[in-house]
Amino acid sequence: MPRKRPHDRLDRIADAATQVFIQHGFAGARISQVASLAKVGPGTIYLYASGKEALFDLAIRRSLEDPTVWSLALPHPAPAPGALADALWRCLQNAAHFPQLWLAADSPPPDNVPKEVEGIVRELYAWLRRYRRAVQLVERCAGDWPDVAQFFYRRFWRGGARRLAEYLRRRVAEGRLPDRGDPLASAHFMIESLTWMAVHREWAPDGAEIHDAQAEAAAIALMVPALSAPGP
């Protein structure tokens, strides 16, 4: 009969699974690797998850700080077809809070629009850094979980880019930001650049040399003037 087990061990196993999936991908990951990293026996893993599919579900939930992880009956079963994408959407709805961007896109311009742009850039960077493991998981395992990857990019990533584009389009139309061309292209450029700094720099050979504060400061120093300074 499913029963609850210690949270600290579940946390270690979910964290270990996240690291293994990011490093090796879903197909290349092994239960023994997760057990070794979590410092438990391979058999212990099956007390918490029924197999790799269940571990991946736990890893996604844990990386998005889903509070329901701690109330799941264990061992956690493999998700039914489509269930993981549904769980991802619920987690993202709880995690995806961008109050500055959402408010700015629907509000008249403030006196200091460059400061408003800076706040949005900081907000996006902070979210990407906080949930970087979720982004890495989806990207690394996209080939094995195409429905999850498609859902993430089409419903979440694309939605964020379109909201940011709406904000840029509005401020340009109001004459408060210079016209830099297509707002959607600018929005995608911003998000992808921030994603490299907050998420992908960990995979770069010299990424460890760039600390969080330096990465965020560089993003702000480059993006805010590029978006708000008048052109020649």
Rg (C-alpha) for the chain, rounded Å, is 20
Report, as an integer, the average pLDDT of 157-176: 96
pLDDT over 70 percentage in the chain: 96
Phi, psi of 44 (to 5 degrees): -65, -35
Which residues on neighbouring strands pair with residue 76, listed in sequence order?
49
Task: Name the nearest CA neighbour of 186 among 229, 223, 148.
Answer: 223
Q: Can you give the pTM of this predicted structure?
A: 0.92
Q: Is the pLDDT of residue 96 over 90?
A: no
116-138 burial, b if ≥16 CB within 10 A, otherwise e?
bbbbbbbbbbebbbebbbbbbbb
Quote the pLDDT of residue 71.
87
| Residue-wise pLDDT tens digits, 5-24 | 566 899 999 999 999 999 99
Q: For every residue of the chain, which 3-state class applies, written as one string? A: CCECCCHHHHHHHHHHHHHHHHHHHHHHCCHHHHHHHHCCCHHHHHHHECCHHHHHHHHHHHHCCCHHHHHCCECECCCCCCHHHHHHHHHHHHHCCCHHHHHHHCCCCCCCHHHHHHHHHHHHHHHHHHCHHHHHHHHHCCCCCHHHHHHHHHHHHHHHHHHHHHHHHHHHHCCCCCCCCCHHHHHHHHHHHHHHHHCHHHHCCCHHHCCHHHHHHHHHHHHHHHHHCCCC
Q: Are 74 and 2 in contact (CB under 8 A)?
A: yes
* Structural domains of the chain in order of their starting residue, each with its CATH number: 7-79 (1.10.357.10), 96-228 (1.10.357)
Per-residue pLDDT band for 231 (boundaries 50, 70, 90) equals low
Measure the CA angle with vertex 147, ends 162 and 153; round to 5°: 20
What's the pLDDT score for residue 115?
97
More confident residue, 199 or 2: 199
* Cβ–Cβ under 8 Å, residues 21 and 137: yes
